Amino acid sequence: MNLLSLDTSTEFLSLAIQAGDNLFTHHQHVGNASSELILPQIQALLDAANMQLKDLHGIAFGAGPGAFTGVRIACGVAQGLGFGANIPVVGVNTLLAVAQASGADKVIVCLDARMGEIYHATFEKANTRDKHENEWHEISETKVCKPEAAPILAVGASKINILEKQWVGAGSGWAVYGEILSSIYAKNLIKTNAYITPTAEAILQLARPIFAAGEAMPASEASPIYIRNRVALTTLQREAGQRL
């Protein structure tokens, strides 16, 4: 199966192409330049894989939450390429992609949402043999909140040892609000890693079984995941340096 995955929900441009058994990746800190670089870099990856767009069987993208403009870029590119070449698409929750990229089985994901807030969710990977290795249970649903309002862990899929130190904190929110979050999850955490981002490789891993099951959607149905009601700033807020 030949698949393209992409994410622009953070300051990183992250791309991956699975060409049969081979994997080609590009992960670069680009700030606000994703819109200018994404199409040339996708073409560069296709060239490296000796492929054309028509050779792809699916496109996966980071659907959000994340930077409003970045999420729209990823969705728009996936939709445009998919529609033009009649390729199905899969949108992946970026917080779940962080959990996947962490390499842990129990993850408290917190991404900096700006404006004094975080995007938050907790995930636990299925551990039974009859489940796909990339199947995750959402213990605490994806939400935006103040860091001090991050929900405590409740009994999840495993229903045992939920309060023991088995959890990894991942994502940029831990860099900005680490002290607050660590106080909330002191009984749960093994460690934290604030530098994990939603990578295209993680998105590809999560989307692969969806494509294999024939559950991808037509490109025309691709849509971002918005969980914040306010998606624009006033002039004064922009002048003060606030970002969405």
Over residues 151-175, the pLDDT tens digits come to: 998 654 444 445 568 999 999 999 9
**pLDDT category of residue 234 using cuts at 50, 70 and 90:** very low
Residues 83 and 128 in one domain: no
- Asked if the structure places residue 14 within a domain, the reply is yes
Within this chain, do residues 6 and 55 fall inside the same structural domain, yes or no?
A: yes
Looking at the structure, do residues 87 and 100 belong to the same domain, yes or no? no
How many structural domains comprise the chain? 2
Average the pLDDT over 199-209 and give the result: 98
Q: Domain check: are 159 and 206 in the same one?
A: no
Considering the domain architecture, whether residues 10 and 55 belong to the same structural domain is answered as: yes
- Same domain? 101 vs 186: yes
Q: Is the pLDDT of residue 141 over 80?
A: yes
Same domain (yes/no): 68, 10: yes
**DSSP count for the chain of H helices, then E strands:** 7, 10
Residue 228 has pLDDT above 90, yes or no: no
Domain that holds residue 73: 2-94+198-239
Residue 244 lies in a domain: no
Assess whether pLDDT exceeds 90 at residue 232.
no
* Co-location of 108 and 90 in the same domain: no
pTM strictly above 0.85? yes
